[in-house]
Structure 1
Amino acid sequence: EPSCFTHRPREHSWREILNGIFYITRSGCSWRMMPSDLPHWKTVYHYFRLWKKSGFIERLHTTLREKTRVQVGRNPYPTAGSVD
């Protein structure tokens, strides 16, 4: 784990934090409207901002995209893109 992720002991697992971020991205709701069965919105938002600022989210997205492309037999690096 990068040092920026270990300032104090975590109360929630990484999976719970990711579930909170996934909920926001899927639902499009505001941070303050997160359901109570997820970690508090301030906690999830804190990690989201930290990961966004450090470039972790972009690296994670790139790694997942490359692995997915390889799994389906494609080149891990797209050579072209299209916009509709």
Structure 2
Amino acid sequence: MKDHFAWGKYGNISKHQKKERVNGVVYIITTGFPWRMLPKDFPPYSPVQSFYRRCRIKEI
């Protein structure tokens, strides 16, 4: 999976690690919950949803 994501410093540094965002996306996909109901154990829904959207656009 690491091969699909760019590695390095590209401008803004994220507050949340990619692994946390991937785990949030996997949680939403497997449970079917709305994005806004993402539990507090994960980053806020907006960066997780944005990460998912960017991956879909890049067809990852």
TM-score interval, normalised by the smaller of the two chains: 0.7 to 0.9
The alpha-carbon deviation at position 7 of structure 1 amounts to 4.2
Equivalent residue for 1:22, pick from 21, 26, 32: 26
Distance 1:31 1:14 in 2: 17
User: What is the aligned counterpart of 1:33 among 34, 37, 59?
Assistant: 37
Higher relative contact order (CA 8 A, sep 6+): 2
Please, which runs of 5 or more residues in structure 2 have no aligned partner? 1-5
Q: TM-score, normalised by structure 1?
A: 0.58
Name the count of aligned residue pairs: 54
Q: Deviating runs (4+, > 2 A) in structure 1?
A: none
**Normalising by structure 2, what TM-score?**
0.80
**What is the CA deviation profile of residues 56-81 of structure 1, one whole-angstrom value per residue up to 9, with x for unaligned ones?**
x2xxxxxxxxxxxxxxxxxxxxxxxx
Question: Corresponding residue for 2:50?
Answer: 46
Q: Structure 1: 5+ residue runs without aligned partners? A: 58-84
Identity %: 30
User: Based on CA coordinates, which of the two structures has the bigger radius of gyration?
Assistant: 1
State the superposition RMSD in angstroms: 1.7
More helix by share: 1
> What is aligned with 2:17?
13
